[in-house]
Amino acid sequence: LTLMRELPRAIAEGEMFLQYQPKVHVRRQQIASAEALVRWQHPVRGLILPGDFIAVAEEAGEIAALTLWTLRKVIVDQRVLAGEGRDLRLFINISGLLLADASFVAEACAIVRATDAKLGFEITETAVIRDPDSAIRHLQSFADIGVELAIDDYGAGLSSLAYLKQLPAKELKIDKMFVLQLTSSNRDPLIVRSTIDLAHALEMEVTAEGVETPSALALLSVMGCDMVQGFLISRPLGFDAFRKFVAEDG
Ligand code: G
Ligand code: G
Ligand code: NA
Ligand code: MN
C-alpha cells in the first residue's frame, strides 16, 4: 500500500533507473540488441526489482506513466549509443494493460514518431488475451512506425498459437524456465528445439533467455537458436557499464 502511494513521487523524483541486458547473436557472436529493465532505488528500502512494483504500478494506475518515462529514457540512451557508432535496438517491456489503453498507445506512438531511435517492445501473449482485437491493432500500429515486437516469456503463460500466428512479431523469446536446466533435463531440450523450429517456420527469430552455462549455449547453437540472453553473456548493467560492454564487443 505504501509503495503504491510512493510511486508517483518516485517516478517524478528520479528514483527509477534502467539496466540493460544484451541479447547476443549466436552465429555472428555480436550484440544484437538489448532489453531495458526498470529498477527502483528507494531512499529507505533500497533497491526494488520490478517483480515487486510492476503489479503495484498497474494497480495504482501508474504503469502508463512509468512506461512512458522508460520509453523516453531509452530513446535518450539509444541516441547516445548511436552517436558512438553503436546503433543497437533497445527493447522495453510493455505491460498487457497498456495494450488496451488507447491514450497510452497514442502518446507512445507520438513519442516514437518524433525520434529516429531503433526501438522494440517485449510483450507477453497473456497480455494480448485480455482484448485480442484491440491489442493486435495497437501492436500493428507500433510495428507500422518501426517498433520491432518480441514475444516475451514464450511457453510460460498462456501461449496461444492462434495469437502467435496473428501478432506482427519478429522475435520470440523462449522463457528461461525451459533454458535454465536445458542440459540436465529430458524434456526441456525437446520443448526448446520444437519451439525454435516453430518460430522459424513462422519466420521469426528466436532468443533463449536464462542462458547461464557454456553447455546450454552450445546446445542452443546446435539447435539453431538465433540469439541468447542470460548471465553467461551479461547480467543487466547500468547504462555506463552497458556502454563499456558494447564498446568492447568488437
Ligand atoms: O530483472 P528482472 O527482475 O528485472 O525483471 C523481472 C520482470 O520485470 C521481467 O518479467 C520484466 O519483463 C519485467 N519488467 C522489467 N522492466 C519492466 C518495465 O519497464 N515494464 C514492465 N511492464 N515490466 C518490466
Ligand atoms: O520476463 P522478463 O524475461 O523480461 O525477465 C527478465 C528477468 O530474468 C530479469 O529479472 C533478469 O534479471 C532475469 N534474468 C536474466 N538473465 C537471467 C539468467 O541467465 N538466469 C536467471 N536466473 N535469470 C535471468
Ligand atoms: Na522482457
Ligand atoms: Mn522474459
Summarised one tens digit per residue, pLDDT across range 125-173 is 877 887 888 999 999 999 999 999 999 999 888 777 778 888 899 999 9
pLDDT confidence bin for 2, thresholds 50/70/90 = confident
Is the pLDDT score of 240 beyond 80?
yes
Q: Which of 24, 182, 209 to mutate to test the pocket of ligand 2 (most atoms within 8 A of CB)?
A: 209
Residue 17 scores a pLDDT above 80: yes
Tell me the mean pLDDT in the region 194-209. 96
Q: What is the pLDDT of residue 125?
A: 81
Grid cell digits, residue 184: 540436465
pLDDT at 201 > cutoff 70: yes
Residue 250 has pLDDT above 70, yes or no: no
Strands (DSSP E) contained in the chain are 16-25, 30-42, 46-48, 89-93, 119-124, 148-154, 171-174, 205-208, 227-228, 237-238
**pLDDT, tens digit, 9 for 90 and up, residues 23-52:** 999 999 999 999 999 999 999 999 999 999
Question: Pocket around ligand 2: residues whose beta carbon is below 6 Å from it?
Answer: 21, 37, 93, 152-153, 176, 180, 209-212, 230-231, 236
Per-residue pLDDT, 158: 74
The average pLDDT across 206-215 equals: 98
Whose cell is 502511494? That residue is 5
> What does the pLDDT read at residue 193?
98
From the CB of 37, is ligand 1 less than 6 Å away?
Answer: yes
pLDDT tens track for 110-127: 999 999 999 999 998 877
Q: Which secondary-structure segment (H or E) carries 151?
A: strand 148-154
Query: Which residues lie below 8 Å from residue 79, measured CB to CB, with a gap of 6+?
Result: 115, 116, 117
pLDDT of 163 reads 80
Tell me the CA–centroid distance for residue 186 and ligand 2, in Å.
Answer: 22
Residue 197: strand, helix, or coil = helix
List of residues 6+ apart from 95 with CB closer than 8 A = 54, 58, 63, 67, 127
Residue 209 Cα to ligand 2 midpoint, Å, equals 7
List, in order, residues 6 or more apart from 24 with CB less than 8 Å away: 30, 31, 32, 227, 228, 229, 233
pTM: 0.96
Point out the ligand nearest to the CA of residue 68.
Answer: 1
Mean pLDDT of the chain: 94
The mean pLDDT value for 243-248 works out to 95
Task: Give 216-239 pLDDT, tens digit per residue.
Answer: 999 999 999 999 999 999 999 999
Three-state SS at 33: strand
| pLDDT 10s digits, 51-89 | 999 999 999 999 999 999 999 999 999 999 999 999 999
The single residue listed with the C-alpha cell 541516441 is 79
CB distance 207 to ligand 1 below 6 Å: no
Amino acid 1: pLDDT? 60
Predicted confidence at residue 131, as pLDDT, reads 84
52: DSSP letter: G
* pLDDT in the model for residue 52: 94
Set of cell numbers at residue 5: 502511494
Mutate to test the pocket of ligand 1, among 21, 37, 99, 177 (most ligand atoms within 8 A of CB): 37
Structural domains of the chain, ranges and CATH numbers in brackets: 2-242 (3.20.20.450)
ipTM of the complex: 0.95
Phi, psi of 33 (to 5 degrees): -170, -175
Q: Are 151 and 121 in contact (CB under 8 A)?
A: no
What is the CA 235 to chain-centroid distance, rounded?
A: 14
> Which SS3 state, helix, strand or coil, does residue 155 take?
coil
CA 168 / ligand 4 centre spacing (Å): 18
What the block records as the C-alpha cell of 215 is 553447455
Torsion of CA 80, 92, 36, 217, to 10 degrees: -110
